[in-house]
Amino acid sequence: MHLASRTYDIDDFWAVQELFHANGWTDGLPIVPPTQEAVSACLEWAMADPAQLVGIEPVRGVAITAEKLAINAVMAGCLPMHFPVVLTTFAAMLRPDFLLHGATASTGGCAVLIVVNGPIRLELGAAGAFNALGNSDRATAVIGRAIRLCLINLMDVRPGAIDRSTLGHPGKFSYCVAEDEEDTTWLSLAEQRGIPKEASAVTVMAAGAPRQIMNEWTTRPEEILETFAAEMRANLRHYSIHPGNYALIIPKQLREHLQAAKWSKTDIANFIHERARIHRREWAEVGKGAVVRDRGDSVYPAMESPDQLLVVAAGGPAGGFGAVIPPWLGNKSHAVTVPIGACIDCEPPKK
């Protein structure tokens, strides 16, 4: 397989690390040397030609090829079997609705949250239980890291360059979760967003850091979900009143109470949509009174519609915990779901 990228003849592993670090090609951590054999193996697994155009970043006009994605996937530690997820994820991010340039250049410091659904989770050993938002397994760790390295090396999304984040958050190293589809009665996130159950898919969202909640004192769905809604109201008060995609990560202990009461993901979204909203006058209580003016009675929902809520079943089997993952900046960026291994330009993205 012919690769067009520049090559370096270096035998020493640590010299490779210093070369890549000195050129700003890493995320600060050691990388796997992207040899021609390893890169070719990724491309062959995904049946992708090196010159295949995955997409063009619509603001800066940067062309993204399969070869360049494969190089960064190897650097992140991906095996060939991981590469189709990386390829599809980046294609989803290049959709205009995702607004990749804004999400990666903003001072707000969001990261790309990736949710993996379908049979490919089991093939890759992607775990959706213990430590689901942390280092739960190899697959989600390296896939998430591959996306960050691709952004750094293909789009110059480096701190102080394109990336203007004031703070950022740890999800910028890797922010990938597999849904626990086997231990829930709910439809998967991908199924809710129009992907058949037998297909694998990724959903991408420009996301802030997870905000963990806890409620171990009730089994009533309304009271459990009110805890999530309260955290979303806090985000509306403390960060942004613009509506957009939010994600709820609901581990087993809490979702068992919801499922026992026959609450579906749709029921959850409808409840949260009604409860997660504030009045503009509440901004005066958190030091933002100057912007209230004569619009104190205006109501701001966290989401324009229940469909904007992404409910994900994931997390360990015990503990009344959950997480709210807020959007980068309201509806400027929309979550996108794309099937893995399908024609990425054949159907419009799911919003």
Q: What is the predicted pLDDT for the residue at 140?
A: 98
pTM: 0.95
pLDDT in tens, the chain (351 residues): 889 999 999 989 999 999 999 999 999 999 999 999 999 999 999 999 999 999 999 888 999 999 999 999 999 999 999 999 999 999 999 999 999 999 999 999 999 999 999 999 999 999 999 999 999 999 999 999 999 999 999 999 999 999 999 999 999 999 999 999 999 999 999 999 999 999 999 999 999 999 999 999 999 999 999 999 999 999 999 999 999 999 999 999 999 999 999 999 999 999 999 999 999 999 999 999 999 999 999 999 999 999 999 999 999 999 999 999 999 988 889 999 999 986 544 444 454
Quote the CA–CA distance of 157 and 164 in Å, as a whole number.
9
Quote the CA–CA distance of 259 and 265 in Å, as a whole number.
9
Taking alpha carbons only, the member of 310, 314, 317 closest to residue 334 is: 310
Q: What is the predicted pLDDT for the residue at 342?
A: 60
Quote the CA–CA distance of 32 and 120 in Å, as a whole number.
23
SS percent in the chain: helix, strand, coil, step 5: 40, 15, 45
Quote the distance between the C-alpha of residue 210 and its chain's center.
11
Between β-strands 176-178 and 63-65, what pairing exists: parallel, antiparallel or unpaired?
unpaired
